[in-house]
Structure 1
Amino acid sequence: MRALRRFTVRAALPEPLLPLSQLVMNLRWSWHPETRDLFETLDPALWQSCGGDPVKALGEVSAERLAALAKDRRFVRRLQDAVDDLEEYLATPRWYQSLGTDTANGGAPASIAYFSAEFGITEVLPQYSGGLGILAGDHLKAASDLGVPLIGVGLLYRAGYFEQGLSSDGWQLEHYPSLDPHGLPVKLLREPDGSAVVISVPLPEGRTLYAHVWRAQVGRVTLLLLDSDIEENAPAERGVTDRLYGGDEDHRLRQEMLLGIGGVRALRAYCARTGTPAPEVFHANEGHAGFSGLERIRELMESHGLAFAEALQAVRSGTVFTTHTPVPAGIDRFPKALIERYFAGFGVPLHDLLALGAEEDPAKYNMAHMGLRLGQRANGVSELHGHVSRGMFSNLWPGFDESDVPIGSITNGVHAPTWTARELVDMGTQTSSQGDPVEVDGPVHFDGVDGIPAGDLWAIRRTLRARLVEEVRRRVRETALSRGATEAEVGWTETVFDPDVLTIGFARRVPSYKRLTLMLRDPARLKAMLLDPERPLQLVIAGKSHPADDGGKKLIQQMVEFADDPEIRHRIAFLPGYDIGMARYLYWGCDVWLNNPLRPLEACGTSGMKSALNGGLNLSIRDGWWDEWFDGQNGWAIPTADGVADADRRDEVEARAIYELLSTQVLPRFYERDGEGVPARWVEMVRHTLRETGPKVLATRMVRDYVQALYVPAARSARVMSADGYTPARAESQWRGHLLHNWSTVRVAHVEATGAGDTPEIGSTLALRAEVELPGLEPGDVQVQAAYGRVDDADGLHDVTTVPMAHEQTEGSRHWFTATVPLERTGAFGYTVRVLPHSEHLADPAELGVVTTA
């Protein structure tokens, strides 16, 4: 007989222990060691069996134990100290407060909404599948540490992503546990009368999707999670938030409607009931949240009587869009007919709505295109990914070079308190004589590591490696039993791995482009390295494949079959169940972090950053963040075969490069010891990584970049557009419509150059004068630029510099503009003149997607 529903009956907390509830319900405990120590004291054995989940531990601790702790004055004092520390953390002004939020004078936004389909805060709240969710979780944590008034918006999936197991033959198995929100560190958003807040989203055929709103507290940051599994819904609607990235197109569309439309409505309800300032900036983390912009357009059309174009102008000004996808296959694309069916009566003109998601295939609706058209500011997540994104979406800005496409980049970062081993922090590996890294302008160095003797640094790395070995042994034993082995057959797991052997980690999602099995390209050579009697290596591997990706599952099966070999299974292990809890052990204990994607398909790849914070050395293809921050001393760059068209040959070349680096550089350096048994050159690479790479990969650096480069400018734009009942938005919309209507008649009629003579020499100048025809437009409507630089044999300009040309003369619709161009380099030189729209409200001159060139 099965239970209809399960829940936990907790012992009532004695009055002296009531503050425990306050600590449990703020997820700061997930990155605050002292609070976790306090929870462990409740019952150390129970803490271990509950996997470090304080909500579960508090639910299972006995009433007798609680009564004893309530009388333990030392524990009660520690408890009060922890609560005082949390309250001080929540109340003390931090970096963001130093910026000032005086909105009348263009200060920082008083509130920012951050939408994401997944959030990886802690394994206790399993609402993430991989890097996107972990990044979103780190974004919230870093925002909390900086005092940024962020509100996260996502969905509460009743089955999360999935728990991964392995069959006897190594095939991935998926198990979806049923999550009870009442057993999670979340609280229901309620009305003043105590009833649950219910938000609604309209669906076709007169149906309605309802949702409750759960609130998780992530330090100073609130995270709102929408839950459709409520009695107000019909069965089909109750299942909308069943699984992360599950279901068919119809199901996914409803999820994204709930995230975007429902998310905005949940925000409005939360702000109204708590007195929180309404967000001025809306940040969409990937295209899943694109419908949030559509809902805000509908709001303005309904509340202020704005036309669609006017409301779009106002909404775009305060919207930031971040793309994480370097491959078209990773973009959500819905059938246009499905969009038409769901949004026919939404309250926004359907033809305008469809234009937002238009792409090359007229039958598809592209959510990334929608995100870019709704966001005045957009970015990729590393310098290389920004470059890839500009090429990938360049067709949205026809006539512009890729370098002019208005998609910038902010390189991801990781939350150091979450991912760094406590011992390393206590040693001072993240201290700087320059002060708080957040406050320093320019490069920061964690030079505290310079005062740590090499022997001590090496000893702590050995300790962390030994901790990983213990965890590997535990998990390998559990996995063997779950795959059908008996207790009598798992004795070998007690001696797998060795705390003194070079340990390499590889853990990530398992799509084909990440090439999980590249290391198996020459199995005999890898086997020889694993078993080398003098310089062996050991490999710990983890990762989940999407449930619908049989190709990815096949790669996992190949890896498991290789690792099952009794001759080498003490040196290589595939660990199922990759999550935040497992990941910490890997980042702490691995000496080398391996990453071998197909370049340039890795948007950022933050797992290597977490390893670097722990002194791990990266061995990686130069993709994502590693392309910009590899410096020759923080690891090794795997040479790529970018020009090789044959995929099989490319894999062969790059796999051989990995083997060569391991055998000729990585292994010799690790095992080369001085008289005290310390690998001095290796430890210096570790020290350099901690000192130089550590500060760069911080999530606080990333969020500070978002605030300064995107949030503050977006807030200023949003305030300007909303002033005086959105009068500026109306005027700007009218100007844009007028300009675009007349743009086809703009022409550069003639350009003349003087001053360089017959034989131009470096140091001389070129005087340019351009005649530009602007029928229906004024000189102030445009910016005329001289563009110059190196020129190739096909007359293409490279390394382009632009200078504005000054308006000189007008005759009717003909206008003359002038500029002086310096000749600053030798060799082939070229120039041209181009005309762009000009408005003080444009974030980028390419924003409108129109340009006229001579």
Structure 2
Amino acid sequence: MNLRWSWHAETRDLFETLDPDLWQSCGGDPVRALGEVSAERLAALAGDRRFVRRLTDAVDDLEEYLATPRWYQSLGAEAPATIAYFSAEFGITEVLPQYSGGLGILAGDHLKAASDLGVPLIGVGLLYRAGYFSQGLSADGWQLEHYPSLDPHGLPIKLLRHADGSAVVITVPLPEGRTLHAHVWRAQVGRVSLLLLDSDIEENAPAERLVTDRLYGGDEDHRLRQEMLLGIGGVRALRAYCSATGTAQPEVFHANEGHAGFQGVERIRELTEAHGLTFAEALQAVRAGTVFTTHTPVPAGIDRFPKALIERYFAGFGVPMDQLLPLGAEEDPSKFNMAHMGLRLGQRANGVSELHGHVSRGMFRDLWPGFDEGDVPIGSITNGVHAPTWTARELVEMGTQTSSQGDSVYVDGPVHFDGVDRIPAAELWATRRQLRARLVDEVRRRIRETALSRGATVAEVGWTDTAFDPDVLTIGFARRVPSYKRLTLMLRDPERLKALLLDPERPLQLVIAGKSHPADDGGKKLIQQMVAFADDPEIRHRIAFLPGYDIGMARYLYWGCDVWLNNPLRPLEACGTSGMKAALNGGLNLSIRDGWWDEWFDGQNGWAIPTADGVSDHDRRDEVEARAIYELLDNQVLPRFYETDRDGIPGRWVEMVRHTLRETGPKVLATRMVRDYVQALYVPAAGSTRAMATDGYAPARTEAAWRAHLLHHWHDVRVAHVEATGAGDTPEIGSTVALRAEVELPGLEPADVEVQAAYGRVDDADGLHEVTTVPMAHEHRDGSRHWFTATVPLERTGAFGYTVRVLPHSEYLADPAELGVVSTA
């Protein structure tokens, strides 16, 4: 029942030994396998001393993994005792199908890496009785959705119960006096517990039983009830779980996307009822401990509900409507924006790659009017992937993830997996071929099954036995199928692609997979186009679209593909972690410089597809970028793969593989990502939580009063005059400029503000670039007029400019831009 087996190879080997054929037919599900294995087989194994010894070793290994102090335990008392992590989906294993794509897989990898690091995380999500959906194809290549009914009692999860054995039941109020009830299921992910709320229980009316029917299904009303259960019910489930198990209540609440935003509203309600705080005071306390991660690079990807729907559902909830609605306010006054609420409820926020952080600051800058895009308080932590889940064990056993620096978790600064340097090129190449051959076997099996499911007879599928070739360059493309990911870009010139597939000297083969959202007919048409192309008898042995993309299929792709293709419309890919998983296995990326690839492409770990960023005509842009892909394949990728020495080894290709494993591998680890979250966000958030809660939340009350007072007077704050001295007629590098600013602060004190001198390179339109800021010291006052001074150095040639700006200042602000107000000279 501990899902560590899903990434621990030795434990999976043990389960497989029960009955290899049964293990295969059960899809690698130990709960199913143990339910179906014969009593005779169990009796035989019980008498097999070698097996019992292996079993005992596995138990000891798990107990040691769960109990031994790890990296997090070295941080000391400042680290939070417990962290809650909310997500609408979690991809832990294909046996627990509660994910649709990258967001869920990322959340699953976050939990696994937290477990490996010893981070006391508790995941919170929903248990969807039909998961997302199982994908099939019709005879004409149209996506078909099947919704299997999942029985929680057959899954590796346990019902959360009270001490008397009764099931814990969580309630969430609904309009018209109705109540939504939910059971709480607990999945154990190594050291981390994952709580999944389930509304399909007897206490609910039929409509409420369907709230957790499927992931990302239903209308606005349905989605709102799901998100209320996730946020409000999730907090209540946490309280019940911590109480039942004696676990410390969370100090930090991490909302993975806007779906979980209502967790902050529920915590505000708790504080107003339990401690008598006003909404504004409770908001300060809640914001202090909240982290918000956005994964959305386009406004269209954000959940937005009609404001009237929010008013109906929260009318009797216990928070003032005139305070709640502004949290989700946006440009359209009739809408309630979940991402905006996430940002307003979270004192700390981040995107999921450096480029996505930049995109997010531009996308949400209207929430901080008056600030330059670079000052918007949204940072970035680049995603990572869980190496034990996604790396082929053959590569791990060869030492591709070892470093002379020691355990990468304990290394500050760049890590290099230099163990790969000791592996002979022939051995590395042989292992890559072995993994490619394994993928080819899996592709053949799947295309045969798919052909039969689409109406072919057994007599017509004999060609699948020889489809694909373990010695041909293999390219993978697998991801969700929204339009911006451009599944069919490679089909832009069908004849040219066909020529590449069938080249007699340097052929390539393509494995493609991905699901379209059930309501996205545009995405389904793209799949249909791809399937129609791949159905051509002339090329079907070289290209395949595989339905049913899930974790189980993905592993084969990441292990076996030589090249991972990614061609989104830049900059619409927030991160793109699939290419990271390929890199951990020595796959080379061929990608648009978007998401993580924009920051970690180094010229030796793959190829960057040139982009036509300035071209507004989408058709023309697709044409230019598709041609760039064909030319890279023709002129660089294929020649390098097929250029071999007399031993048949492509030396330059193997060195790119080696470089990728050594330099890119350590960067893409989920343990690196979770470490970054702990150090940059969780520890500071815990400190803020504790500060706000001292003396019966006195600081929260004081801070709320200070903010209200400051904002009331802010419209009168003004930089009246700035003068500069000391530069002379011909300023020189190395000299300084003395700045003196007169600032009007009616109703405020100098301690309420931070006055900054901002300087840098100035353009022809008087815009400042490469800006540096220094605080200005308070010199003296005359009533509400104050003088501040600073000295700035002249450090660069060219046009120099400066300005003075006034920002709010409080010891409890995580960023001076937090309140969204600034006054500039």
Compute the TM-score of the two structures, normalised by the length of structure 2: 1.00
Q: CA deviation digits over 1:31-51, x for unaligned, max 9?
A: 000000000000011111111
Code of the aligned partner of 1:230: I
**Letter aligned with residue 406 of structure 1:** P
Match of 2:202 in 1: 231
Aligned partners of 1:409, 1:55: CA distance in 2, in Å? 39
Q: Post-superposition shift, 1:761? A: 1.3
CA distance in 1, matches of 2:647, 2:46: 50
Shift of 1:71: 1.5
The one of 17, 20, 43 equivalent to 2:19 is 43
| Runs of 4 or more consecutive aligned structure 1 residues displaced over 3 Å after TM superposition | none
**Cα offset, 1:744, TM superposition:** 0.4
Aligned to 2:823: 852
1:420 to 372, 391, 400: 391
In the alignment, which residue of structure 1 is the partner of 2:415?
Answer: 444
How many Å separate the matches in 1 of 2:470 and 2:28?
24
* Equivalent of 1:825 in 796, 801, 804: 796
2:279 corresponding residue in structure 1: 308
Looking at structure 2, the residues matched to 55 and 680 of structure 1 have their Cα atoms a distance apart, in angstroms, of 45
Which residue, 18, 40, 46 being the options, matches 1:70?
Answer: 46
Alignment of 1:608-627 (within 5 A): 608-627=579-598
Give yes or no for the alignment of 1:802 onto 2:773.
yes
1:321-380 deviation digits (Å, cap 9, x = unpaired) = 000000111000000000000000000000110000000000000000000000000000
Which residue does the alignment assign to 2:70? 94
Q: Tell me whether 1:85 sits opposite 2:61 in the alignment.
A: yes
Of the three residues 619, 628, 634, the one matched with 1:663 is 634
- The equivalent residue for 1:121 is 92
Q: Which runs of 5+ in 1 are unaligned?
A: 1-24
Residues 1:347 and 2:323 are matched in the alignment: no
Query: How far apart, CA to CA, are the structure 1 residues paired with 2:316 and 2:283?
Result: 18
The offset of 1:595, in angstroms, is: 0.1
Residues 780-801 of structure 1 show CA distances to partners (whole Å, capped at 9, x for unaligned) of: 0000000011111111111110
Q: Please, which of 187, 194, 207 is the counterpart of residue 216 of structure 1?
A: 187
2:522 pairs with 1:551? yes
Structure 2 equivalent of residue 455 of structure 1: 426
Matching residue of 1:526: 497
1:678 to partner: Cα distance: 0.2
**What's the CA shift for 1:76?**
1.3
Corresponding residue for residue 108 of structure 2: 137
Distance 2:651 2:236 in 1: 58
Distance 2:150 2:38 in 1: 23
| 1:260-299 matched pairs, under 5 angstroms | 260-299=231-270
In structure 2, how many angstroms separate the alpha carbons of the residues matched to 1:168 and 1:752? 77
> In the alignment, which of 304, 310, 329 is matched to residue 300 of structure 2?
329
> What's the CA shift for 1:759?
1.2
For residue 504 of structure 1, what is the aligned residue in structure 2?
475
Q: Deviations over 1:747-787 (max 9, x none)?
A: 00000000000111111110000000000000000000000
What is the match of residue 676 of structure 2? 705
- Whole-angstrom CA distance in 2 between matches of 1:544 and 1:195: 40
Amino acid at match of 2:69: P
Aligned to 1:643: 614
Task: Please tell me the residue identity of whatever aligns with 1:612.
Answer: A
Equivalent-residue separation in structure 2 for 1:724 and 1:758 (angstroms): 57
Q: Say yes or no: does 1:153 pair with 2:124.
A: yes
- Aligned twin of 1:21: none
Displacement of 1:582 in angstroms is 0.1
| Amino acid in structure 2 at the alignment position of 1:840 | E
User: Which stretch has the larger CA shift, 423-432 or 760-769?
Assistant: 760-769
> Could you report, residue by residue, the CA deviation over 1:701-740 in whole angstroms, capped at 9, with x for unpaired residues?
0000000000000000000000111001000111111000
Counterpart of 1:255? 226
Deviation per CA, 1:622-646, whole angstroms, max 9, x where unpaired?
A: 0000000000000000000000010
Counterpart AA for 1:180: D
Aligned twin of 1:202: 173
In the alignment, the residues of structure 1 paired with residue 285 and residue 42 of structure 2 have an alpha-carbon distance, to the nearest angstrom, of 55
For 1:506, the aligned partner's letter is: F
CA distance in 1 between partners of 2:712 and 2:35 (Å):
65
User: What letter is aligned with 1:57?
Assistant: A
2: CA distance, partners of 1:587 / 1:714: 36
Secondary structure in structure 1 of the residue aligned to 2:100 = coil
Equivalent residue pairs, number? 825
Unaligned stretches of 5+ residues in structure 2? none
Q: Distance in 2 between matches of 1:192 and 1:431?
A: 46
Aligned match of 1:367 in 331, 338, 359?
338
Identity, % of aligned positions: 90
Q: 1:435 aligns with which of 399, 406, 413?
A: 406
Task: Tell me how far apart the structure 1 counterparts of residues 170 and 615 of structure 2 sit (CA, whole Å).
Answer: 53
- Root-mean-square deviation (Å): 0.4
Aligned twin of 1:30: 6
What is the TM-score when the length of structure 1 is the normalising length?
A: 0.96
Q: Which residue of 2 aligns with 1:19?
A: none
CA distance in 2 between partners of 1:624 and 1:403 (Å): 18
Q: Aligned partners of 2:787 and 2:409: how far apart in 1?
A: 48
Residue type of the alignment partner of 1:174: E
Structure 2: how far apart are the matches of 1:351 and 1:220?
42
- Measured against aligned partners, the alpha-carbon deviations of 1:653-710 in whole angstroms (never above 9, x if no partner) come to 0000000000000000000001111000000000000000000000000000000000
Q: Does 1:812 align with 2:783?
A: yes
Say yes or no: does 1:768 pair with 2:739: yes
Residue deviations 1:52-108 (CA, integer Å, cap 9, x gap): 1111111111111111111112111111110010000000000000001x2xxxx10
| 1:405 alignment partner in structure 2 | 376
Give the Cα separation in 1 of the matches to 2:500 and 2:35. Answer: 48
Aligned partners of 1:235, 1:48: CA distance in 2, in Å?
Answer: 37
Alignment counterpart, residue 139 of structure 2, candidates 149, 155, 168: 168
For residue 365 of structure 1, what is the amino acid of its counterpart?
Answer: F
- What secondary structure sits across from 1:846 in the alignment? coil
- Report the counterpart of residue 752 of structure 1 in structure 2: 723
Q: CA separation in 2, counterparts of 1:632 and 1:402?
A: 30
Q: 2:564 aligns with which of 583, 586, 593?
A: 593
Give, as a single letter, the amino acid of the residue that structure 1 aligns with 2:193. T
Alignment correspondent of 1:386: 357
Aligned to 1:15: none
Determine helix, strand or coil for the equivalent of 1:604.
Answer: coil
